[in-house]
Amino acid sequence: QRIQSMEMEDKIFEILIPEEEVLEIDDGKKVATKKRIFPGYILVKMILDDDSWYVVRNTPAVTGFVGSASKPIPLSPVEVMKIRKRIAVKKPRARTHFEIGEPIKVKSGPFANFDGTISEINIDKGKLRVLVAIFGRQTPVELNFNQVEKI
């Protein structure tokens, strides 16, 4: 809209906010959400001259650029291609807030109140394999995401 009002259609061709769909587990349910690949960054395909640079630089909420204060650094065609490929993937990327090796506390089930360490994560099933100390031995236990909490 700003491009049209400033009559820059012949110099600013495309504005891209790189996002991808991510599957997250929330209360044991898989939820698909869009997440920005590079939070705080946008890509602009443009002919860089004083007029187009002025419009981009003075756009509300634009605070800085990759490069120097006087001119941004253009991305190479290979870099742009990699970003576009990642955006084009239709299958949501699975994501969880748990990490292998992370200490947790079991909230429910037969091992409630036991501490353990995550050894495996199965995002598709919403399950964790946790090493729990039982009678002085590390025993692997399979638990749902909603049965544990971070320590």
Q: Where are the domains of the chain?
A: 2-95, 103-150
Give 68-118 pLDDT, tens digit per residue: 767 788 899 999 999 999 888 877 777 778 899 999 999 999 999 999 999
Topology of the domain comprising 2-95: Alpha-Beta Plaits (3.30.70)
Instruction: For the domain covering 103-150, report its CATH number.
Output: 2.30.30.30
Handedness of CA 109, 113, 118, 119 (dihedral sign): negative
C-alpha closest to that of 48 among 30, 34, 67: 67
What is the pLDDT, as a whole number, of residue 28? 64
Q: Which helix H or strand E contains 50, and what residues bound it?
A: helix 50-57
Give 27-77 pLDDT, tens digit per residue: 667 788 888 988 888 899 999 999 988 888 888 877 778 877 677 888 999
pTM score of the predicted model: 0.59
What are φ and ψ of residue 51, in 5° steps?
-70, -50
Q: Which residues contact 68 (CB under 8 A, 6 or more apart)?
A: none
